Structure 1
Amino acid sequence: MNINKYTQKLQEILMNSQSIALRYNNQSIDIPHFIMAIIEDNDNVGSSIFSKAGINLEQLKNGVEAILASIPKVYGSN
């Protein structure tokens, strides 16, 4: 995947998804990491899309956090 082909905003979201996976000690990045990165985005572009779709952001965030917490953890060093 050539990340340089994506917009700056999408690159930021992808990088933040990776940070979230690391924060939760997850081995890989999956949809919940991506959604959480959108929710946590400071520009609130994604959050406004969720809101316009009638999605309660607090409930969404709580649900995604629960999913992230349930993903198997990986600990240790290389």
Structure 2
Amino acid sequence: MNINKYTIKSQEALQSAVELARKGGNQAIEPAHLLESLLSLGDSLTDFLLSKLAIQRPRLEDA
């Protein structure tokens, strides 16, 4: 995987997911790590997609 071909926001989300996995003692990045990092970035695109899918952000964060 060549991370340099990703957008800046994608690189930030992936790096954040890597850090979350390391802090949790995980050897692999799981979808939950990436989801948590996307939610923590507070990107308007993430909020837009969640609203289109009729997913309430607070309920997702609680889960």
Same fold (TM > 0.5):
yes
Confirm or deny that 1:14 pairs with 2:14: yes
Measured in 2, the distance between the counterparts of 1:40 and 1:53 equals 19
In structure 2, the partner of 1:5 is 5
| 5+ long unaligned stretches in structure 2 | none
CA shift in 2, pair 1:25/1:47, >3 Å: farther
Higher relative contact order (CA 8 A, sep 6+): 1
Q: Deviations over 1:15-53 (max 9, x none)?
A: 011111122222210111111111101434313321332
Relative to its length, the structure with more helix (as a share) is 2
CA distance change for structure 1 residues 62 and 43 in 2, over 3 Å: closer, same or farther?
A: same
Q: Which has the larger radius of gyration?
A: 1
RMSD: 1.5
Q: Which runs of 5+ in 1 are unaligned?
A: 64-78
**Normalised by the size of structure 1, how large is the TM-score?**
0.68
Q: How many equivalent residue pairs? A: 63
Moved over 3 A (4+): none
Structure 2 matches for 1:50-65, cutoff 5 A? 50-63=50-63
Please, what TM-score do these two structures have when normalized by structure 2? 0.81
